[in-house]
C-alpha cells in the first residue's frame, strides 16, 4: 500500500516557514505585497482568488484583490497592470486565468513586469526556467518538486514520466525534473504505447484533466505517483487524473486529490511573492 504524500501537511509547514520569513523581512523594512486581478464572474476563479487573498493574510503578506467587470476592455486591463507595475508596495502581480474571450491572454501576460510575474508565465521567466537560471518557479510544478523532496524521495538518476505538456504544468514540470537530474519523458494525447512508457516511471506526474485516467496497469510497483489533475465528477466531488483506489495498492508513494498538489500551488505563489519583494529591495 502506497505511502500518502500529504500536501496539506507539507503546505502548512512551508507556510509556517514563509510567515517567519515575512516577519524577518518586515523587520528589515521589506513589505511583500501581492495584487490579484480577476476579470468577470467565473465562480471557480472567484474561489481561487479568495483563497489567494486569505493565504496572503495568514502569512502576513499585504494583498489587493482587484475585481474588474466581465466587459472590461483589454486596454483598461493593460492600464491597470501598468499602474501595478509602477507601485512600490506591490511586489507581485497575478492575473487570474481564464480571461474573457475578448481579451488576449498573451498580451496581458506580456504586460506584467517580469520582476513582478509571480506566476512565472511570461516569456522572460519561462526562458529563465528553461536555462536553469530561474527567478520564480512556476507554482504548480514547483509545488510538486517540494512534495517529492520533502517526502525524502531522491530524484537524481530516476526515470520520470510527465503526462501532459501544457505551458502551465507539463512542460515546466518536465524541465524542473530534468534540472533535478531525472531522466525525463513527456507524454501527451498523441503518445503511442502510453501505458508501456508510464510503467518505466520511477516518478509519474500526471497533469491531463481526465478523471481516473491512470489505471493500475500503467504504474510500476513502488513508483512515486503525483496527481496534478482536478476534475469535478457528476456528483460534485473533486477527483484526480489517477484512479487512486487501485493505483495506491501498487505505488510506493501517492498524492491524494484533494489534499495533494492542490494546496501547494498557492504556497509556491506566496514564496514567489517573497522572492519578488526581496529582489525589488536588494
Ligand atoms: P491542459 O492545458 O488541458 O493540458 C492537458 C495535457 O494533457 C495536454 O498536453 C494533453 O495533450 C494531455 N492529454 C490530454 N488527454 C490525454 C490522453 N488521453 N493521453 C495523454 N495525454 C493527454 O491542462 P493543464 O492546465 O495542464 O491541467 C491539467 C490538469 O491539472 C487539470 O485537471 C487541471 O485542473 C489540473 N491543474 C491543477 C492545478 C493544481 O493546483 N492542483 C494547477 C493547474 C492545473 P495534448 O497537448 O496532445 O493535447
Cell of 31: 513589505
Which protein residue has the closest C-alpha to ligand 1 atom 41? 262
Residue 221, φ and ψ in degrees, nearest 5: -55, 130
172 pLDDT band, cuts 50/70/90, is very high
Q: Are 52 and 269 in contact (CB under 8 A)?
A: yes
Instruction: Give the pLDDT mean for 104-120.
Output: 98
CB 96 within 8 A of CB 44: no
Region 7-21: mean pLDDT is 98
Residue pair 133/74 in contact by the 8 Å Cβ criterion = no
Average predicted confidence (pLDDT) for the chain:
97
| pLDDT (tens digit per residue) in 189-222 | 999 999 999 999 999 999 999 999 999 999 999 9
| DSSP collapsed to 3 states, the chain | CCEECCHHHHHHHHHHHHHHHHHHHHHCCCCCEEEEEEECCCHHHHHHHHHHHHHHHHHCCEEEEEEECCCCCHHHHHHHHHHHHHCCCCCEEEECCCCCCCCCHHHHHHHCCHHHECCCCCHHHHHHHHCCCCCCCCHHHHHHHHHHHHCCCCCCCCEEEEECCCCCCHHHHHHHHHHCCCEEEEECCCCCCHHHHHCCCCEEEECCCCCCCECHHHCCCCCEEEECCCEECCCCCEECCECHHHHCCCCCEECCCCCCCHHHHHHHHHHHHHHHHHHHCC
Instruction: Tell me the average pLDDT across 166-176.
Output: 97
Which residue shows C-alpha cell 494583498? Answer: 63
Using the atom order of ligand 1, give the atom closest to the CA of residue 190: 47
Q: Do 109 and 95 contact (CB within 8 A), yes or no?
A: yes
Average pLDDT over residues 251-274: 98
CB 142 within 8 A of CB 176: yes
Which residue is closest in CA terms to ligand 1's atom 35? 229
Give 226-237 pLDDT, tens digit per residue.
999 999 988 989
Residue 136: which of 112, 104, 160, 111 has the closest Cα? Answer: 112
Among 132, 227, 225, which residue's Cα sits nearest to residue 180?
Answer: 132
The answer, yes or no, to whether any atom of ligand 1 lies below 6 A from the CB of 175, is: no
pLDDT band of 255, cuts 50, 70, 90: very high
Active site residues: 52, 96, 119
Give me the pLDDT at residue 247, please. 98
Q: What is the number of the ligand 1 atom nearest to the C-alpha of 240? A: 32
Q: Tens digits of per-residue pLDDT, 20-46?
A: 999 999 999 999 999 999 999 999 999
pLDDT at 278: 97
Average pLDDT score over residue span 59-80: 98
Query: Which pLDDT does position 83 carry in this prediction?
Result: 98
Question: Ligand 1 mean position to 80 CA, how many Å?
Answer: 30
pLDDT for res 155 = 98
- 163 C-alpha vs ligand 1 centroid, how far in Å? 8
Amino acid at each position: 500500500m502506497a505511502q500518502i504524500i500529504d500536501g496539506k501537511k507539507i503546505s502548512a509547514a512551508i507556510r509556517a516557514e514563509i510567515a517567519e520569513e515575512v516577519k524577518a523581512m518586515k523587520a528589515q523594512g521589506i513589505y511583500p505585497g501581492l495584487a490579484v486581478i480577476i476579470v468577470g464572474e467565473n465562480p471557480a476563479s472567484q474561489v481561487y482568488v479568495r483563497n489567494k487573498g486569505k493565504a496572503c493574510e495568514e502569512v502576513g503578506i499585504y494583498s489587493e484583490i482587484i475585481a474588474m467587470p466581465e466587459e472590461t476592455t483589454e486596454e483598461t486591463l493593460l492600464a491597470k497592470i501598468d499602474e501595478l507595475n509602477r507601485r512600490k508596495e506591490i511586489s507581485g502581480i497575478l492575473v487570474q486565468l481564464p480571461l474573457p474571450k475578448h481579451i488576449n491572454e498573451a498580451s496581458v501576460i506580456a504586460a506584467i513586469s517580469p520582476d513582478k510575474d509571480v506566476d512565472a508565465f511570461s516569456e522572460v521567466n519561462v526562458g529563465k526556467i528553461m536555462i536553469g537560471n530561474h527567478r520564480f518557479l512556476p507554482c504548480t510544478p514547483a509545488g510538486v518538486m517540494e512534495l517529492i523532496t520533502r517526502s525524502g524521495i531522491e530524484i537524481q538518476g530516476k526515470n520520470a514520466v510527465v503526462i501532459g505538456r501544457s505551458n502551465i504544468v507539463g512542460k515546466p514540470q518536465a524541465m524542473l525534473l530534468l534540472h533535478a537530474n531525472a531522466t525525463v519523458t513527456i507524454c501527451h494525447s498523441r503518445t503511442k504505447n502510453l501505458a508501456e512508457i508510464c510503467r518505466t516511471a520511477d516518478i509519474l506526474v500526471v497533469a491531463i484533466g481526465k478523471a481516473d485516467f491512470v489505471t493500475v496497469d500503467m504504474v510500476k510497483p513502488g513508483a512515486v505517483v503525483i496527481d496534478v489533475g482536478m476534475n469535478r465528477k457528476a456528483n460534485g466531488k473533486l477527483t484526480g487524473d489517477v484512479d487512486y483506489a487501485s493505483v495506491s495498492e501498487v505505488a510506493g508513494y501517492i498524492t491524494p486529490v484533494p489534499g495533494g498538489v492542490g494546496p501547494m500551488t498557492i504556497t509556491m505563489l506566496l514564496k514567489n511573492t517573497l522572492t519578488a519583494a526581496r529582489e525589488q529591495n536588494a
